[in-house]
Structures are given as structure tokens and as C-alpha cells.
Amino acid sequence: MSRATRAESVALAVGVATVLLSVLAAYQAGNFPGWGAGLALLLVFGVTIAVGEWFQISAPGLRSSAPLATASAFGLCFTVEVPDGGYIAYAAAVVIAVASVATAIGVGARLAARHTVSFVDVSGRLAAVVVVALLYRNVHLGQGSGAAIVDHDRPEWQNAVTMLAIAAVGLLADVALTSALRALAAGGGLRRIVVEELVSSVTLSSPVAVTGVLIALAAPTLGIAALPLFLVPLVLTLFAFRRYVSIRATYLQSIRTLSRLTDAAGYTPAGHSERVAALALRVGRELALPERELLDLEYAALLHDIGQVALVEPIPGGATVLAAPADQRRIEADTVAIVRETGVLEGVARILEHQTTPYRQVRELGEEIPLTSRIIKVVNAYEDLNRGARGSRSRDAALERIYLGLGYEYDPRVVDALLRVLDVAPHHTDAAT
């Protein structure tokens, strides 16, 4: 089992445990509201959370999220009053049970429809709900026994600030758990992953937290109507996001078309760049790269050989790994120059600047070479060396050639990730040590 698969399995186990334990705790609490406003509130929130999980959003460069589900769950955690002075006396265990079961239903529906689901991200969202419910209901309101406690002496703005602070702590719990699971998949680098997760999630975290608080503040006046009313901006955001995804898909298709230029001109074998990109993405995910870096990695892998169009005569077979180091650097420089002409792919250009740099310059000289550059170097070498029928003998021969340069030309960590992706037992050679 690969590290990435192991992390997803751990995340799935965390999610299942959360659902089962929360339902058991809610049953033991024994304070589910009877027929009336309380039960109707739980049902409406539950349905909204499940629907929000169905409408997850994800795109190259962004982690998957479910803003409708998360905002609704936060609103459920914070809501304790309904119109006409009614109180909703359910403890944190009930809130967590409703949110987790609704999440499981939404995720199950996505799986049944064969849509992509990241259990790491789902477990992070559940962790946020657990933290928010416990902090607000058990700690702040003292609802451990299930009694509704509402402090009318405090100004509304203070209640709002308290809710926002608790929501922020919940979102940090989401980042902490997802970062730990992705570090497990990557075999380390927790600090870097935490920073990347914070940057990736900050865009939607603020509106999600604010929406949850607004739903709770409006519930005493509007009741159930507060939920759809304050979710409308997030629904509009979903439509805008889908438009963004469509534009990015068109952009990616344009880059794919450009990458086929070397194939059409006879400089590289048909489909070479797309095979490198596909395998590089698998290796990048195995190393738990964030979505933003995976997007740049895919673009760079697709365009990594575009500089060959400047050659007077093609390299035999288009295999740059077999070319002289000076020729490799010249192709690299031409590739970077062409990419920089676009004016919008500076991050991709930085990756391609180091695609031929030997790994020893990291180890011996302390040079900063992006991990994405090292991935392209290893994957391109494997693709160049693994030609012909692509059977097991060809694959093993390619890996043996790569192992001859392990630690000198190629990053051992990237090579290990490639082996896990290919499901090949590591070669125990002197070069590996």
C-alpha cells in the first residue's frame, strides 16, 4: 500500500469513527428534540449539509472543499434560538451526530455516482465541526447536560466575535488534521505542508466562517429561513467557481495542444509529454504536493521538451536523457525562454529552469532545486529509458539505469515515490545507499 493510499485509509477510518462515536454519544445524551421547531431545524440543517457535500468544489491548484456543507454545519453548531423565544436544547453530541451522518450521506452519494472524494479533506471538515460544537456548546454555553443556556446580557457583537473566534479554531483544526495526514503520505515535511494548507484554504475559510455565524445570529428572528438566505452568496460562489474551472480546463487544453508540437514535428515520440505529465502527477500526489504545486507540475511536465523545436536536427528518439549535458542545458534554456514568452507561466518556468540539474547540487552545494523539478527529471528519464513494448523487462532496465545515478543525478526520495507509484519493489543496490 502506498503512503498516499495509507493516508486516505487513515482519514476514512477517522471519518467512520467520528460518525459512529457521535451517534453513540448522541444516543447516550438522550436529548434529541421532539416533534417541533427543534427537530425541523436538525432535519433542514442535515439535508443542507448532505447536499453541500454533494456539491464539493475542487480544481487544479485548489484543495477540495464543501463550503455549503461547512457553513451549514457551523450554523448548526451555533444556533440555539428560534423565533418567539424558543430554545433548541441539544448538546454538542447531537450536533456532531447530525453533521457527521449528513456528511456520510453526501459522501456516499458522490461515491455511488463515481465522483472523486478526498477522505483526507472530508475528515478535516468533520474535525472542524467537532471542535466548533464542543467549544461553543460544551465550553462556552455549558451545555454538557443538554440544557440551552443563552446569555442575553451580552451584546450581540460579543456573541458574534466569540462565534468567529471558535469557527477560526475549528478551521485550524481542519488544517492541522489534513496537514498531518498529508505529511504521513509524504513521509515528512509537516511544517511546509501546514503553511501550504493555510494558504490554500484561506480563500474560502473566511466566508464559510462568517456565513455560519450569520445563520446563527439571524435564526432567532428568521428561523429556518436564515439558512437558505445566508447560503445564497455561497451558492453564487459555486456558479462562479464552476465558470473558473471551465476556463482552467480550456487553458489546460491549450497547453496540451502546445505540448504536442514536438510530437507533430517529429522531435519526440507521440504522447511523450502527456505520459510524463500523467506519471509526474501520480508521483507528486504520492509525495503529498499541494494542489497549487501539482497544477504547475502538470504544466511544466507537458511543456518540458518544447525547447527541442529550436534544434536543427532532432535527438534520436527525442530522449533528452541520452543527450550530452550541454545539449540538455541548451534545450532547457530554450524551453524556459518559450514558456516565459507566455507571460503567465512564471512558476512553470522556474520549475523548468532546474529540470536537468543533478541532484548532487542539492546534496553537496546546498542549491535550491524545487521538488517539482526533481520529479520531472526522474519521470522524464524513466519515460525516455522505458521505450519499446514497455513490458516488465523494459521497465526494470529503465529503473536500473536510474538507480545508477541515484543520489547523484536523481533524488532518492522521488525515485522511491516512483517505485511506489509503479508498485515495484525497491532495488537494493549499492547505488541506493
- Residue 278 grid cell: 500523467
How much is the average pLDDT of 47-62? Answer: 82
Full-model pTM: 0.71
Reported as a pLDDT band with limits 50, 70 and 90, residue 128 is very high
Q: Which residues is 86 bridged to in the sheet?
A: 82
User: What angle (nearest 5°) sits at the alpha carbon of residue 280, between those of residues 277 and 281?
Assistant: 85
Window from 189-193, 266-270, 358-362 with minimum mean pLDDT: 189-193
Rounded to whole angstroms, the Cα distance separating 297 from 380 reads 13
Rounded to whole angstroms, the Cα distance separating 302 from 298 reads 6
Question: What is the CATH number that goes with domain 260-432?
Answer: 1.10.3210.10
What pLDDT, on the 0 to 100 scale, is given for residue 259?
A: 83
Reply yes or no on whether the pLDDT at 345 is more than 90. no
Q: Are 218 and 74 in contact (CB under 8 A)?
A: no
Amino acid at site 269: P
How much is the average pLDDT of 243-249? Answer: 77
Residue ranges of the chain assigned to CATH 1.10.3210.10: 260-432
Reply yes or no on whether the pLDDT at 200 is more than 50. yes
Residue 37 CB burial class (10 angstroms; 0-12, 13-18, ≥19) = middle
3-state SS, residue 148: coil
User: Based on C-alpha coordinates, what's the Rg of the chain?
Assistant: 26
> 6: how many CB neighbours lie within 10 A of its CB?
13
**Phi, psi of 428, rounded to the nearest 5 degrees:** -95, 90
Q: Residue 392: enclosing H or E segment and its boundaries?
A: helix 392-404
Q: What is the pLDDT of residues 374-390, one digit of tens each?
A: 999 999 999 888 865 45
Eight-state DSSP code of residue 17:
H
Reply yes or no on whether the pLDDT at 33 is more than 70. no
Q: Are 346 and 330 in contact (CB under 8 A)?
A: no
Reported as a pLDDT band with limits 50, 70 and 90, residue 133 is very high
Nearest alpha carbon to residue 355 among 268, 433, 414, 426 = 414
The torsion defined by the Cα of 407, 278, 62 and 136, in degrees rounded to 10, comes to -80
> Could you give the angle at which helices 67-78 and 156-186 cross, rounded to 10 degrees?
130
Q: Under 8 Å CB-to-CB from 432, ≥6 apart: which residues?
A: 403, 406, 412, 426
Reply yes or no on whether the pLDDT at 2 is more than 70. no
Rounded to whole angstroms, the Cα distance separating 336 from 348 reads 9
How much is the average pLDDT of 314-341? Answer: 81
Rounded to whole angstroms, the Cα distance separating 99 from 53 reads 11
Window from 25-34, 96-105, 160-169, 232-241 with minimum mean pLDDT: 25-34
What pLDDT, on the 0 to 100 scale, is given for residue 309?
A: 82
Average pLDDT of the residues of the chain: 82
> To which residue does cell 440544557 refer?
147
- Residue 140 grid cell: 462556552
How much is the average pLDDT of 36-55? Answer: 84
What pLDDT, on the 0 to 100 scale, is given for residue 32?
A: 57
> To which residue does cell 521538451 refer?
305
What pLDDT, on the 0 to 100 scale, is given for residue 23?
A: 83
Reported as a pLDDT band with limits 50, 70 and 90, residue 70 is very high
Reply yes or no on whether the pLDDT at 357 is more than 60. yes
Reply yes or no on whether the pLDDT at 432 is more than 50. no
> Could you give the angle at which helices 371-385 and 291-303 cross, rounded to 10 degrees?
40
Residue ranges of the alpha helices (H) in 134-271?
156-186, 190-222, 226-259, 261-264
CA 128 to chain CA mean position, Å: 16
Reported as a pLDDT band with limits 50, 70 and 90, residue 279 is very high
Rounded to whole angstroms, the Cα distance separating 101 from 22 reads 9
Reported as a pLDDT band with limits 50, 70 and 90, residue 429 is very low
What pLDDT, on the 0 to 100 scale, is given for residue 430?
A: 37
Rounded to whole angstroms, the Cα distance separating 197 from 120 reads 12
Q: What is the pLDDT of residues 176-187, one digit of tens each?
A: 998 888 888 777
How much is the average pLDDT of 227-254? Answer: 81
Residue 253 CB burial class (10 angstroms; 0-12, 13-18, ≥19) = exposed
Reply yes or no on whether the pLDDT at 34 is more than 90. no
What pLDDT, on the 0 to 100 scale, is given for residue 433?
A: 33
Reply yes or no on whether the pLDDT at 59 is more than 70. no
What pLDDT, on the 0 to 100 scale, is given for residue 378?
A: 93
